Structure 1
Amino acid sequence: MWRRSASFVLDRQPNPPDRAGAPSDMTELRQPPASSAYYQTRAEHHTVTSDWLAQAQAATSSDRTQPIRQFKLPEADGVCSDGATTFSVIEEFNYWRKKPDLAEAVAAIMALASVIRSSKATTMMELEIELKKAVDSLKA
Protein backbone atom coordinates (compact mmCIF):
# COMPACT_ATOMS: atom_id res chain seq x y z
CA MET A 1 0.00 0.00 0.00
CA TRP A 2 1.35 3.42 -0.93
CA ARG A 3 1.75 5.94 1.81
CA ARG A 4 0.53 9.40 1.14
CA SER A 5 2.91 12.30 1.18
CA ALA A 6 2.66 15.41 3.29
CA SER A 7 1.36 17.25 0.25
CA PHE A 8 -1.83 15.20 0.58
CA VAL A 9 -2.48 16.86 3.94
CA LEU A 10 -2.01 20.26 2.37
CA ASP A 11 -4.36 19.35 -0.48
CA ARG A 12 -7.16 18.46 1.92
CA GLN A 13 -7.05 21.81 3.67
CA PRO A 14 -9.68 24.24 2.45
CA ASN A 15 -8.46 26.87 0.04
CA PRO A 16 -8.07 30.35 1.51
CA PRO A 17 -10.95 32.65 0.65
CA ASP A 18 -10.48 34.75 -2.46
CA ARG A 19 -9.42 38.29 -1.78
CA ALA A 20 -11.83 40.72 -3.33
CA GLY A 21 -9.69 43.71 -2.53
CA ALA A 22 -9.00 47.00 -4.16
CA PRO A 23 -7.52 47.17 -7.67
CA SER A 24 -4.14 48.03 -6.14
CA ASP A 25 -4.09 44.55 -4.58
CA MET A 26 -4.55 43.02 -8.02
CA THR A 27 -1.60 44.93 -9.47
CA GLU A 28 0.57 43.64 -6.63
CA LEU A 29 -0.39 40.09 -7.55
CA ARG A 30 0.37 40.56 -11.24
CA GLN A 31 3.73 42.31 -10.88
CA PRO A 32 6.46 40.39 -9.09
CA PRO A 33 8.81 42.43 -6.90
CA ALA A 34 11.96 43.81 -8.52
CA SER A 35 14.16 41.55 -6.38
CA SER A 36 13.46 38.29 -4.60
CA ALA A 37 12.29 38.10 -1.02
CA TYR A 38 15.62 36.49 -0.14
CA TYR A 39 17.60 39.55 -1.23
CA GLN A 40 15.05 41.95 0.23
CA THR A 41 15.48 40.24 3.60
CA ARG A 42 19.27 40.32 3.27
CA ALA A 43 19.10 44.03 2.49
CA GLU A 44 16.86 44.66 5.50
CA HIS A 45 19.40 42.89 7.71
CA HIS A 46 22.21 44.91 6.09
CA THR A 47 23.89 41.78 4.77
CA VAL A 48 23.96 43.28 1.29
CA THR A 49 23.96 46.98 0.49
CA SER A 50 21.30 48.65 -1.59
CA ASP A 51 24.04 49.64 -4.06
CA TRP A 52 25.07 46.01 -4.53
CA LEU A 53 21.42 45.00 -4.86
CA ALA A 54 20.86 47.65 -7.54
CA GLN A 55 23.95 46.51 -9.47
CA ALA A 56 22.91 42.87 -9.32
CA GLN A 57 19.38 43.72 -10.39
CA ALA A 58 20.67 45.78 -13.31
CA ALA A 59 22.98 42.95 -14.32
CA THR A 60 20.18 40.40 -14.41
CA SER A 61 17.90 42.64 -16.44
CA SER A 62 20.57 43.72 -18.94
CA ASP A 63 20.68 42.72 -22.59
CA ARG A 64 21.55 39.04 -23.07
CA THR A 65 22.63 39.30 -26.71
CA GLN A 66 26.32 38.71 -26.02
CA PRO A 67 27.24 35.03 -26.45
CA ILE A 68 28.85 33.04 -23.66
CA ARG A 69 32.56 32.57 -24.26
CA GLN A 70 33.73 28.99 -24.69
CA PHE A 71 37.14 27.77 -23.56
CA LYS A 72 39.05 24.56 -24.11
CA LEU A 73 40.91 22.92 -21.28
CA PRO A 74 44.55 22.11 -21.98
CA GLU A 75 45.60 18.51 -22.52
CA ALA A 76 47.99 16.78 -20.12
CA ASP A 77 50.97 18.59 -21.67
CA GLY A 78 49.33 21.99 -21.02
CA VAL A 79 48.53 22.79 -24.67
CA CYS A 80 45.15 22.57 -26.39
CA SER A 81 45.08 20.13 -29.29
CA ASP A 82 43.21 22.50 -31.63
CA GLY A 83 44.98 25.70 -30.56
CA ALA A 84 41.86 27.13 -28.90
CA THR A 85 42.02 29.57 -26.01
CA THR A 86 42.95 27.86 -22.75
CA PHE A 87 40.80 28.42 -19.71
CA SER A 88 41.83 30.70 -16.86
CA VAL A 89 39.38 31.54 -14.11
CA ILE A 90 41.25 34.80 -13.44
CA GLU A 91 40.93 35.91 -17.08
CA GLU A 92 37.24 34.98 -17.04
CA PHE A 93 36.71 36.97 -13.84
CA ASN A 94 38.50 40.00 -15.28
CA TYR A 95 36.47 39.73 -18.51
CA TRP A 96 33.17 39.90 -16.63
CA ARG A 97 34.41 42.47 -14.11
CA LYS A 98 35.11 44.94 -16.92
CA LYS A 99 31.40 45.01 -17.74
CA PRO A 100 30.19 48.33 -16.28
CA ASP A 101 26.71 47.06 -15.49
CA LEU A 102 27.81 43.96 -13.58
CA ALA A 103 28.58 43.75 -9.92
CA GLU A 104 31.81 42.06 -8.86
CA ALA A 105 29.83 39.24 -7.29
CA VAL A 106 28.09 38.55 -10.59
CA ALA A 107 31.48 38.51 -12.31
CA ALA A 108 32.72 35.89 -9.84
CA ILE A 109 29.61 33.77 -10.40
CA MET A 110 30.00 33.98 -14.18
CA ALA A 111 33.65 32.96 -13.86
CA LEU A 112 32.75 29.96 -11.69
CA ALA A 113 29.98 29.01 -14.11
CA SER A 114 32.65 28.90 -16.82
CA VAL A 115 34.65 26.52 -14.66
CA ILE A 116 31.64 24.21 -14.53
CA ARG A 117 30.99 24.47 -18.29
CA SER A 118 34.60 23.73 -19.20
CA SER A 119 35.07 21.00 -16.61
CA LYS A 120 36.00 17.46 -17.60
CA ALA A 121 35.05 16.15 -14.14
CA THR A 122 33.16 12.87 -14.09
CA THR A 123 32.11 12.96 -10.44
CA MET A 124 30.75 15.62 -8.15
CA MET A 125 33.86 15.29 -5.99
CA GLU A 126 36.13 16.12 -8.94
CA LEU A 127 33.93 19.09 -9.84
CA GLU A 128 34.00 20.27 -6.23
CA ILE A 129 37.81 20.10 -6.23
CA GLU A 130 37.99 22.09 -9.49
CA LEU A 131 35.61 24.72 -8.09
CA LYS A 132 37.60 24.94 -4.85
CA LYS A 133 40.81 25.55 -6.83
CA ALA A 134 39.05 28.21 -8.91
CA VAL A 135 37.69 29.95 -5.80
CA ASP A 136 41.14 29.88 -4.20
CA SER A 137 42.69 31.43 -7.32
CA LEU A 138 40.03 34.17 -7.30
CA LYS A 139 40.77 34.93 -3.65
CA ALA A 140 44.52 35.17 -4.28
Structure 2
Amino acid sequence: MKEMYADLIAAAKEAYQNAYVPYSKFPVGAALKLKDGNIINGANVENASFGLTNCAERSALFTAFTKGYRRDDIEAIAVVANTDRPISPCGACRQVISELMPQDAQVILLSNKDEVKTYTVAELLPYSFTSEDL
Protein backbone atom coordinates (compact mmCIF):
# COMPACT_ATOMS: atom_id res chain seq x y z
CA MET A 1 0.00 0.00 0.00
CA LYS A 2 2.83 2.37 0.88
CA GLU A 3 4.39 2.12 -2.58
CA MET A 4 1.03 2.47 -4.31
CA TYR A 5 0.40 5.79 -2.57
CA ALA A 6 3.98 7.14 -2.45
CA ASP A 7 2.95 10.40 -4.14
CA LEU A 8 0.07 10.87 -1.71
CA ILE A 9 2.30 10.20 1.30
CA ALA A 10 4.88 12.69 -0.01
CA ALA A 11 2.13 15.31 -0.42
CA ALA A 12 0.93 14.74 3.16
CA LYS A 13 4.50 15.21 4.40
CA GLU A 14 4.76 18.42 2.39
CA ALA A 15 1.48 19.69 3.85
CA TYR A 16 2.81 18.86 7.33
CA GLN A 17 5.47 21.53 6.77
CA ASN A 18 2.74 24.15 6.27
CA ALA A 19 0.89 23.54 9.54
CA TYR A 20 0.25 26.62 11.68
CA VAL A 21 0.56 25.33 15.24
CA PRO A 22 1.87 28.08 17.55
CA TYR A 23 -0.07 26.72 20.55
CA SER A 24 0.04 22.92 20.45
CA LYS A 25 3.30 22.58 18.48
CA PHE A 26 1.64 19.48 16.96
CA PRO A 27 1.78 19.75 13.15
CA VAL A 28 -0.33 17.41 11.05
CA GLY A 29 -0.39 17.08 7.26
CA ALA A 30 -3.00 15.42 5.09
CA ALA A 31 -3.42 14.83 1.39
CA LEU A 32 -6.32 13.56 -0.68
CA LYS A 33 -5.84 11.47 -3.81
CA LEU A 34 -8.62 12.13 -6.30
CA LYS A 35 -9.69 9.69 -8.97
CA ASP A 36 -8.65 12.17 -11.68
CA GLY A 37 -5.07 11.97 -10.36
CA ASN A 38 -5.04 15.32 -8.58
CA ILE A 39 -3.84 15.61 -5.01
CA ILE A 40 -5.14 18.19 -2.55
CA ASN A 41 -3.14 19.00 0.59
CA GLY A 42 -4.32 20.17 3.98
CA ALA A 43 -2.57 21.18 7.20
CA ASN A 44 -3.87 21.89 10.65
CA VAL A 45 -4.36 25.59 11.35
CA GLU A 46 -4.71 26.69 14.96
CA ASN A 47 -6.34 29.74 16.49
CA ALA A 48 -6.03 31.34 19.92
CA SER A 49 -9.71 30.48 20.31
CA PHE A 50 -8.98 26.74 20.24
CA GLY A 51 -12.46 25.73 19.08
CA LEU A 52 -11.80 27.55 15.80
CA THR A 53 -8.82 25.34 14.97
CA ASN A 54 -9.13 23.23 11.83
CA CYS A 55 -7.50 19.81 11.48
CA ALA A 56 -5.43 18.79 8.46
CA GLU A 57 -7.92 16.15 7.32
CA ARG A 58 -10.81 18.60 7.32
CA SER A 59 -8.68 21.28 5.65
CA ALA A 60 -7.95 18.92 2.74
CA LEU A 61 -11.53 17.69 2.43
CA PHE A 62 -13.07 21.16 2.65
CA THR A 63 -10.62 22.42 0.02
CA ALA A 64 -11.58 19.56 -2.30
CA PHE A 65 -15.28 20.31 -1.91
CA THR A 66 -14.62 24.03 -2.41
CA LYS A 67 -12.95 23.15 -5.71
CA GLY A 68 -16.05 21.24 -6.82
CA TYR A 69 -14.98 17.68 -6.03
CA ARG A 70 -17.45 15.38 -4.29
CA ARG A 71 -17.45 12.13 -2.37
CA ASP A 72 -17.22 9.83 -5.39
CA ASP A 73 -14.19 11.75 -6.69
CA ILE A 74 -12.01 10.76 -3.72
CA GLU A 75 -9.84 7.64 -3.72
CA ALA A 76 -7.74 7.98 -0.54
CA ILE A 77 -6.43 10.23 2.20
CA ALA A 78 -3.01 10.11 3.85
CA VAL A 79 -2.34 11.69 7.24
CA VAL A 80 1.06 12.22 8.90
CA ALA A 81 2.23 13.69 12.20
CA ASN A 82 5.32 13.64 14.37
CA THR A 83 4.11 10.66 16.38
CA ASP A 84 5.79 7.38 17.29
CA ARG A 85 2.82 5.39 16.00
CA PRO A 86 0.60 6.14 13.01
CA ILE A 87 -1.52 9.21 13.73
CA SER A 88 -5.15 8.62 14.62
CA PRO A 89 -7.72 11.12 13.29
CA CYS A 90 -9.79 12.84 15.96
CA GLY A 91 -13.50 12.10 16.31
CA ALA A 92 -14.57 15.21 14.40
CA CYS A 93 -12.33 14.27 11.47
CA ARG A 94 -13.60 10.69 11.49
CA GLN A 95 -17.16 11.97 11.22
CA VAL A 96 -16.29 14.35 8.37
CA ILE A 97 -14.26 11.66 6.58
CA SER A 98 -17.19 9.27 6.96
CA GLU A 99 -19.61 11.70 5.34
CA LEU A 100 -17.39 13.23 2.66
CA MET A 101 -15.47 10.16 1.45
CA PRO A 102 -16.67 6.84 0.00
CA GLN A 103 -16.92 4.09 2.61
CA ASP A 104 -14.39 1.96 0.71
CA ALA A 105 -11.82 4.77 0.28
CA GLN A 106 -8.40 4.17 1.77
CA VAL A 107 -7.25 6.01 4.92
CA ILE A 108 -3.45 5.84 5.21
CA LEU A 109 -2.07 6.83 8.61
CA LEU A 110 1.67 7.42 9.13
CA SER A 111 4.11 7.93 11.98
CA ASN A 112 7.33 9.94 12.04
CA LYS A 113 9.13 6.60 11.45
CA ASP A 114 7.11 5.90 8.28
CA GLU A 115 5.13 3.17 10.03
CA VAL A 116 1.82 2.80 8.19
CA LYS A 117 -1.66 1.65 9.14
CA THR A 118 -4.33 1.51 6.46
CA TYR A 119 -8.08 1.34 6.92
CA THR A 120 -11.13 1.90 4.82
CA VAL A 121 -13.40 4.76 5.84
CA ALA A 122 -15.97 2.23 7.07
CA GLU A 123 -13.33 0.56 9.28
CA LEU A 124 -12.20 3.90 10.67
CA LEU A 125 -15.66 4.83 11.92
CA PRO A 126 -18.03 1.85 12.10
CA TYR A 127 -21.69 2.56 12.83
CA SER A 128 -21.30 6.22 11.94
CA PHE A 129 -23.92 8.92 12.26
CA THR A 130 -25.34 9.59 8.79
CA SER A 131 -28.04 11.66 7.12
CA GLU A 132 -30.33 8.64 7.56
CA ASP A 133 -30.23 9.33 11.32
CA LEU A 134 -31.73 12.81 10.92
Q: Is the pair's TM-score, using the shorter chain for normalization, greater than 0.5? A: no
Relative CO higher for 1 or 2, CA cutoff 8 Å, sep ≥ 6? Answer: 2
More strand by share: 2
More helix by share: 1
> Larger Cα Rg: Structure 1 or Structure 2?
1
> TM-score under structure 1 normalisation?
0.28
